[in-house]
Structure 1
Amino acid sequence: MGCGGSSLSNADENSKNIKKPKPWKHSEPITRTQLMQMRDEFWDTAPYYGGQKVSDDIISNISEIWDALRAAAEADIKFGQTIVDSAGVIVQGADLTICYDERGAKYELPKYVLSEPTNLIKDN
């Protein structure tokens, strides 16, 4: 007989399988070009708004985490999971909207970098 309360999920609590965020709607219909511009702007500025900024080696680590998060967000789910696991990223929920690095620094990703809105319209 085994212990009824034990499970493999309790052994590795930090390893959660990532999923795409729930469907969302932008405040107004946007084109794919506008969405891609929003994503590019976010990724260009993200390292300046997340993680800990204490020393050059920590800043380098933050940049690597942001790079890993971008790669995971742009990859399919299974490969994204591999990237997150390899980078030591701790995912708080079911998607990548809130993550932490191994030092406890928080990284927040908006849903528009993780999936498309329900009101995406075709470019002209």
Structure 2
Amino acid sequence: MGCGGSTDKSDDGTLKRLKKPKPWRHSEPITRAQLKKMREEFWDTAPHYGGKAEIWDALHAATEAQLELAQAIVDSAGIIMTSEDMSVCYDERGAKYELPKYVLSEPANLVKDH
């Protein structure tokens, strides 16, 4: 990825587009409520990791949107994706934004709330 935007060409010359994250498992089964709490804690503290608040806001919105809308959000915010699942992104000034798996998708071992 270059630094022109999220739709820069990948190494094979095709445009890099958002894709559904790969399946993953949490270290132990968790409930939807626990996952929600983890996500809320991450997004509450994310701006403290550095970068711009508006980029964190755009990433947050993109993680909660369907793929097409998420792609539009990323493109309009000028976010540079180095991974197709948004786990590692940069803003136009080169600040790095790392997103944990649990904000990108649900784990395979999600259990029903009690």
TM-score by length of 1: 0.80
1:17 counterpart residue number = 17
- Percent of aligned pairs sharing the same letter: 68
Return the structure number with greater helix share. Answer: 1
Task: List alignment gaps of at least 5 residues for structure 1.
Answer: 1-10, 52-61
Amino acid at match of 1:31: T
> Helix, strand or coil for the counterpart of 2:68?
helix
Higher Cα Rg: structure 1 or 2?
A: 1
SS of the equivalent of 1:99 reads strand
**RMSD (Å), alpha carbons:** 1.5
**Unaligned stretches of 5+ in structure 2?**
1-6
Distance 2:20 2:104 in 1: 7
Cα separation, partners in 2 of 1:115 and 1:38, compared to 1, 3 Å: same
- What letter is aligned with 1:40? E
**CA offsets, 1:69-105, max 9 Å, x none?**
0000000000000000000000001110000000010
Question: How far apart in 1 are the matches of 2:28 and 2:8?
Answer: 41
1:106 matched to 2:96? The reply is yes
> What corresponds to 1:43 in structure 2?
43
Counterpart-to-counterpart distance in 2, 1:12 and 1:28: 37
AA aligned to 1:87 is A
Moved over 3 A (4+): none
User: 2: distance between equivalents of 1:113 and 1:94?
Assistant: 15
1:84-99 equivalences in 2 (<5 Å):
84-99=74-89
TM-score (structure 2 length as normaliser):
0.87
AA aligned to 1:78 is E
Distance in structure 2 (CA, Å) of the matches to 1:93 and 1:22:
11
Aligned amino acid, residue 44 of structure 1: D
